[in-house]
Amino acid sequence: MYLKKTAQPIAPATSGGGVSVYQALDRDERASGAAALPPLASGEAALSRTEKVRSQVDHEEARNDIPASNDKRYAYLISYARLRELLGYGGGDHQSVVLSPDRLENAVKMLLRAVQVDEDWYLRQHPDVREAVAKGVFRSAKHHFIESGYFEGRKPARVFVDEEWYGRVYPDVSESVEFGELGSCQEHFDRYGEREGRLPAED
């Protein structure tokens, strides 16, 4: 039974499973090669390597949120062609690609820019990140989530469970709620479900 499973704690920001919030600037400064970044303008040739990397990161992040005419802001998602380039995939449909960890991580980071992060919730849940943002180590909760949080298993916002759907699809959970072993399907998902690969709602 899943109730006997022991939920493994998510790696804290200082654990070996993730990247310490205080190491983030080092990660920014070791961006994975020119192929992972847009080409630099000729006027930037005199900048140091670190300044070049940060300049390109700022350039990409400036495109992250695009205001629409109704004053809502929509996330920028890189094109599939750009993603293929980041992954080093330039051949035909049957080409095999071997990815280094750095290249894969960099591509994932580009996709994470389209994820909406609940800044207030994220900082309340993770006081270590709140402290790091206050010290200027990260610019925001979203910056931390892209650079470290996602890879540490942190969520960008609270995940809400469709109680009716979840209980119907996972009758074992519904039974445990019925017998009072769990307070709700939401409780099951938060404690066990996500790590078991269960979905919170219908796709």
Exposure string over 16-27, b if 16+ CB within 10 A, otherwise e: eebbbbeebeee
Asked if pLDDT for residue 124 goes beyond 70, the answer is yes
pLDDT for 12 beyond 70: no
- pLDDT > 70? residue 45: no
Over residues 26-33, the mean pLDDT reads: 40
Which residues have C-beta within 8 Å of that of residue 65, sequence separation ≥ 6? 73, 74, 75, 76
At residue 31, does pLDDT exceed 80? no
Most confident of 20-24, 42-46, 84-88: 84-88
- Write out pLDDT tens, residues 168-188: 999 999 999 999 999 999 999
pLDDT at 8: 40
What CA–CA distance (Å, rounded) separates 97 from 186?
Answer: 39
Q: Which of 42-51, 53-62, 117-126 has the highest mean pLDDT?
A: 117-126
54 has a pLDDT exceeding 90: no
Taking only the tens place, the pLDDT of each residue in 74-91 is 567 778 788 888 787 766
SS (H, E, C) the chain: CHHHCCCCCCCCCCCCCCCCHHHHHHHHCCCCCHHHCCCCCHHHCCCCHHHHHHHHHHHHHHCCEEECCCCCEEECCCCHHHHHHHCCCCCCCCCCCCCCHHHHHHHHHHHHCCCCCCHHHHHHHCHHHHHHHHCCCCCCHHHHHHHHHHHHCCCCCCCCCCHHHHHHHCHHHHHHHHCCCCCCHHHHHHHHHCCCCCCCCCC
Top pLDDT among 137 and 47 is at 137
- Name the amino acid, one letter, at 120: D
- pLDDT reading at 14 higher than 80: no
The whole-number pLDDT of residue 76 equals: 73
pLDDT for the residue 82: 80
Residue 36 has pLDDT above 80, yes or no: no
Cα 83 off chain centre by: 16
